């Protein structure tokens, strides 16, 4: 009988400990889920930016109608894009002001930005409003910087956004908006640069020369002239985006090298030196 009592007591003690351990796990998971999945106003704005992406693609790439609810396709497209870009500016301000910075927001915000910009740029390429080589550089830069930040974060290093990167983002929004709003029936209002005209010599495009003549010379400036001028500004701004993307990517690579690679090499050298200079342990027999 004493043996059975001991066994029963052990089982009761084990069951109680298991129950307490299970309860602690449930409490921890519940607290973690509440902390991570917190759909507040900033997160709602970020999610809305993601949901706008497929609608923007449909508006820009659907040729069956030039008007949506009485609004021109290019006007509705640029409105959606600018509204989504505005949420990128607002969600960060609101999160910091209300102290609502969450892990969900940190995860979704860069994803939403890259989805929006990538969808808009790829739609521009499809409509022959932007050259593919420039879009490849811009999107490739986004993925490269994201990879560097992820590797640095795994090493415990935070690479913050640079001033050049912020300038690139602003120039990117302006460029995409100009190219969308200047499109005529989803296509460029001029003969596509490079076919047969070079991409840099804008002044050789007949439609642009006519628009400049109407603007500063004789004749009335028409809506088509304004579309040509806006499109030319957008194509010129695209060069600014490409150059700033390359410059900011170089800055991120430099920060990554000094913060992760160089620091890891220095730590490795110090460990090697400490191991070689450590006193030998002599054991006596």
Could you list the pLDDT tens digit for every one of the 285 residues in the chain?
A: 454 455 455 555 544 555 454 454 455 445 444 444 456 788 888 888 899 999 999 888 886 666 666 677 888 889 999 999 998 888 778 877 878 777 777 777 888 888 999 999 999 999 888 889 999 999 999 888 888 877 877 777 777 777 888 888 899 999 999 999 988 777 788 876 655 555 566 667 778 888 888 888 777 888 888 888 899 899 889 999 999 999 988 888 888 887 777 665 656 656 666 666 655 544 444
In Å, what is the CA distance from 103 to each residue of 36, 37, 106, 145, 151? 5, 8, 5, 20, 17
**pTM of the predicted structure, to 2 decimals:** 0.73
């Amino acid at each position: 009988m004493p043996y059975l009592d001991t066994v029963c007591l052990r089982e009761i003690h084990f069951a109680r400990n298991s129950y307490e351990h299970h309860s602690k796990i449930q409490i921890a998971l519940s607290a973690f889920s509440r902390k991570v999945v917190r759909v507040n106003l900033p997160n709602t704005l970020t999610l809305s930016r993601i949901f706008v992406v497929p609608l923007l693609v449909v508006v820009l790439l659907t040729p069956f109608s030039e008007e949506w609810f009485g609004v021109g396709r290019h006007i509705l497209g640029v409105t959606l894009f600018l509204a989504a870009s505005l949420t990128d500016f607002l969600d960060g301000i609101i999160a910091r002001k209300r102290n609502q910075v969450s892990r969900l927001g940190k995860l979704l915000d860069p994803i939403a930005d890259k989805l929006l910009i990538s969808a808009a740029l790829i739609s521009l390429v499809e409509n022959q409003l932007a050259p593919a080589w420039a879009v490849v550089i811009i999107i490739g830069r986004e993925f490269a910087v994201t990879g560097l930040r992820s590797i640095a974060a795994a090493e415990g290093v935070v690479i913050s956004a640079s001033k050049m990167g912020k300038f690139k983002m602003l120039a990117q929004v302006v460029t995409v908006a100009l190219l969308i709003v200047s499109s005529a029936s989803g296509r460029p209002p001029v003969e596509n640069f490079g076919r047969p005209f070079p991409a840099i010599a804008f002044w050789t495009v007949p439609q642009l020369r006519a628009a400049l003549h109407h603007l500063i010379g004789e004749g009335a400036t028409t809506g088509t002239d304004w579309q040509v001028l806006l499109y030319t500004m957008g194509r010129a701004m695209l060069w600014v985006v490409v150059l700033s993307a390359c410059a900011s990517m170089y800055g991120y690579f430099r920060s990554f090298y000094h913060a992760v690679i160089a620091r890891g090499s220095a730590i490795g050298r110090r460990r090697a030196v400490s191991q070689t200079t450590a006193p030998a342990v002599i054991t006596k027999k």
